Amino acid sequence: MSLTDVAIRKAKPGINPKGEATPKPYKLGDAGGLYLEVSPKGGKWWRLKYRYEGKEKRISLGTYPDTSLALAREKRDAARKLLAAGVDPGEHRKAEKVAGEDRAANSFEVVAREWFAKHSPQWAPGHANKIIRRLERDLFPWLGSRPIAKITAPELLTALHRIENRQALETAHRVLQNSGQVFRYAIATGRAERNPAADLRGALAPWKPVHLASITEPEKVGELLRTIEGFRAGLIVKSALKLAPLVFVRPGELRHAEWAEVDLDKAQWNIPAARMKMREPHLVPLSTQAVSILRDLHALTGRGRYVFPGAHNPRHPMSSNAILFALRRMGYSKDQMSGHGFRAMARTIMDEVLHIRPDYIEHQLAHAVRDPNGRAYNRTAHLPERRAMMQQWADYLDMLKQGGNVVPIRKRAV
């Protein structure tokens, strides 16, 4: 039964519709999920109950009498139109609040923040931060308040040229990519009909991704390992440098390692999904060499949270630049070796020299590997084989470090 203004005016705090005294708020239902919540202190709040992606949610639509019954129904209908378009009304409201009350409901900034809120939980925190910072710095100041349906390709290109003019060509291409994703989301949710970013293909100066520097020649790898062994540094940084080639995880995953994730008796390190780029938990089998390094370090940092705590504040992980600076102090330039380069080192040599199955390597690199039916392998897939691979790799690195016989990489014929 729908509400009436008379019923709302007669609603008394602390007395429910049955005439019974109650110390709790009670509800007067309208239609379509709209209801009025009457507080024991006399306040009357409009609420909307709805379901989004299988979850029940609620949002406030204002207070009575400032928000009349007719206006509350208008707000309900607007929210249900968003739902019909696949948009969460609650997230839409948050995006509007962040963008500012002066922004139009379907402005570029509101829709972009809504898109970001929907997708960012599946991204690594660092990746998500880079995307929202690009949008806030390079697009929102110029396009944020514009209705997204009215933005043209020349307008977008003008904003991108500002980025190009400061010689940030890679950023310009990434901003174009992100804006295209926002426009596609706007089209899918009924706020736009065209994607102007698609019209700008070829409009920016060409840019090719620069691969992070890595040493992949076995003889030079041996030199690097010997340099690390003789490098004068504190135990924490030295241990991180020695462990990096053995586990070849991403630099951020290494420096954020926590002792609670490491089982030295089982010789494995379980990295939670929240810290992985692909948002899937990852298991790293530890070679005997890796376990030895960690056992030695445990005596120093094992009482704390982080395996590699920061030099100035042990409650934080080691600096993101610690390994990079150490490589530079050892004489390796940015064009020779990077913290990320240990991954390319392992991938190249295990494939080209040790002839290990590529899917074992890719799985250990935490790349997207799927089975013949297209399903993603779980974290324990091929675990015995990967354990053997990690030990074989560690033994091979020991041989290189000791200056053993080196088999040069020979590129396969194509």
List the catalytic residue out of 73, 75, 242, 250: 250
How many angstroms separate the Cα of 190 from the Cα of each of 87, 97, 111, 186, 279?
10, 21, 11, 6, 29
- 384 pLDDT above the threshold of 50: yes
Q: Are 224 and 215 in contact (CB under 8 A)?
A: yes
The confidence band for 54, taking pLDDT boundaries of 50, 70 and 90, is confident
* List of residues 6+ apart from 160 with CB closer than 8 A: 172, 175, 176, 200, 203, 204
Distance between CA atoms of 242 and 246, rounded to whole angstroms? Answer: 7
Within the chain, all domains assigned CATH 3.30.160.390 are found at: 5-84
pLDDT for 110-132, tens place per residue? 999 999 998 888 787 778 888 99
Spatial distance between the Cα atoms of 54 and 372, rounded to a whole number of angstroms: 31
Average pLDDT, rounded, for the chain? 88
81 given a catalytic annotation: no
pLDDT grade, residue 184 (50/70/90)? very high
User: Among candidates 338, 340, 309, which has minimal Cα distance to 326?
Assistant: 338
- Domain over 5-84 is classified CATH 3.30.160.390: yes
| pLDDT tens, position by position, 236-292 | 999 999 999 999 999 999 999 999 999 999 999 999 988 887 778 899 999 999 999
**Cα separation, 267 vs 291, whole angstroms:** 6
In the chain, CATH 1.10.443.10 sits at 218-401
Is residue 367 part of the annotated active site? The answer reads yes
Residues 61-99: pLDDT tens digits?
A: 999 988 999 999 999 998 998 888 888 888 888 877 776
Please confirm, yes or no, whether 377 is among the known catalytic residues.
yes
- Residue 149's identity, in one-letter code, is A
Query: Which one from 92, 191, 340, 386 is the annotated catalytic residue?
Result: 340
Would you call 414 exposed, middle or buried from its count of C-beta atoms within 10 A (0-12, 13-18, 19+)? exposed
Q: How confident is the model at residue 23 (pLDDT cuts 50, 70, 90)?
A: confident
Model pTM?
0.56
Query: What is the distance between the alpha carbons of residues 172 and 163, in angstroms, rounded to a whole number?
Result: 6
Instruction: Tell me how far apart the alpha carbons of residues 16 and 23 are, in angstroms, rounded to a whole number.
Output: 10
Catalytic residue chosen out of the listed positions 256, 343, 363, 401: 343
Find tokens 């340099």 and name the residue: 227
Smallest Cα–Cα separation from 322: which of 249, 229, 252, 262?
Answer: 252
Question: Could you tell me which of 397, 386, 391 has the C-alpha nearest to residue 353?
Answer: 397
Of 130, 184, 377, 379, the active-site residue reads: 377
Which residue carries 């194509």 as its tokens? 414
The pLDDT tens digits of the residues spanning 318-348 come to 998 899 999 999 999 988 998 889 999 999 9
Instruction: Report the first-to-last Cα separation within the chain, whole angstroms.
Output: 74
Which ranges of 194-287 does DSSP label H, i.e. alpha helix?
218-230, 235-247, 251-255
Predicted pLDDT of residue 129: 87
User: Is residue 64 annotated as part of the catalytic site, yes or no?
Assistant: no
CATH for the stretch 96-200: 1.10.150.130
- 330, exposed or middle or buried, with CB in 10 Å at 0-12, 13-18, 19+? middle
> CA 199, CA 328: separation in Å to the nearest integer?
43
Q: Residue 411: its pLDDT value, please?
A: 44
Instruction: Please confirm, yes or no, whether 329 is among the known catalytic residues.
Output: no
Predicted pLDDT at 374? 53
On whether the 218-401 domain is CATH 1.10.443.10, my answer is yes
Q: Walk across the sheet containing 282-285 and list its strands.
A: 262-263, 268-271, 282-285
CA-nearest of 66, 61, 69, 1 to 31 is 1
- Candidates 94, 130, 184, 277; catalytic one: 277
Token couple for 43: 């306040």
Q: 26 catalytic, yes or no? A: no
Comma-separated ranges of CATH 1.10.150.130 domains in the chain: 96-200
